[in-house]
Amino acid sequence: MKISVITPSFKQPDWLRRALASVADQAGVEVEHIVQDACSGTDVADVCRAYPHARLIQEPDRGMYDAINKGWGRASGEVLCWLNCDEQYLPGTLAEVAQVFAQNPAVDLVFGDMLLIRPDGSLIAYRKSMPLRWPYILATHLYVPSCTMFFRRRFFDEGLRFDTRWCAAGDAELIVRMLRRGMRTFHLHKYLACFTQTGQNLATTARAKQEEGQWIVGAPPWIRWGRPLWITLRWAEKLLYGCYRQGGTVKYAIYASEVASERRPFIVEHAGQCWRNT
């Protein structure tokens, strides 16, 4: 089973190098990695040249979601996903995801848990996922990290694409549409990826904050009026689902320098789950 990874890129060669390395060393699975770069120049081309597994496409786009749409249009894998430049897959992730899809032919989306890290690789927090429910997403935000989501390509073949009018909330909008069309999900209870708090992440921009408000305003009236209830229900289910419990040491290995020559192992005895911008 082939997995097609799309990485949208724009002037982030150092972070791109780490993302590429985290895909290049995935063993036991056939991987296609397409980098959709918005004409960032020779720096990105030089980075990709060092990773023969990657296919670089440099062309203008209308933002991240347009770039991913373009990449998925070129993809040939049975499973589609995207990995941003500030994200990395953990060792063995793609092989485990492929196995879940192979063993569960009715599953359309596999998702997992994530680690939030600093640029030096040290841990900020763990983030455990819970079942995807579209009323929760409409009332708040997409609470499953995109770097841990993998899609069977049938939804793309049926014509579903990102709505490129969004800058930061397009993934939430797409997942809601998929869930309402009957997408079947599987939670792989394992840390699958890391997200780096770089200080320049898209979610921290003014446009992202603006879209957060637009997302709530655009929800159906019964979601807006009942928003406090939906938020309470999500928190309660998150608690019951064990998202606030780690229960032991967190061990992971990631590319923690711009050189990205080898993974650096980390062991954290007491990990927290609170998202902090530090």
Strands (E), the chain: 2-9, 30-37, 54-58, 79-82, 87-89, 109-117, 123-127, 150-152, 185-196, 250-254, 264-268
CB-side neighbour CA atoms (13 Å) of 118: 8
* Identity of the residue numbered 60: P
- Residue 274, domain member (yes or no): no
- Residue 252, domain member (yes or no): yes
- Chain-centroid distance, C-alpha 163: 17
Sort strands 79-82 and 123-127 into parallel, antiparallel or unpaired.
unpaired
- Residue 277, domain member (yes or no): no
- Residue 61, domain member (yes or no): yes
Q: What is the pLDDT of residues 83-130, one digit of tens each?
A: 999 999 999 999 999 999 999 999 999 999 999 999 999 999 999 999
Q: What is the CATH number of the domain that holds 155?
A: 3.90.550.10
Tally of domains within the chain = 1
- In the structure encoding, which two tokens stand for residue 220, read together? 């159906």
Token pair 């909330």 is found at 169
- Residue 273, domain member (yes or no): no
Three-state secondary-structure class, residue 117: strand
Beta-bridge mates of residue 3 = 31, 79
Give dist(CA 276, CA 102) in Å, integer: 37
pLDDT above 90: residue 213? no
Q: What is the pLDDT of residues 264-274, one digit of tens each?
A: 999 999 888 87
* Identity of the residue numbered 197: Q
Give dist(CA 53, CA 237) in Å, integer: 41
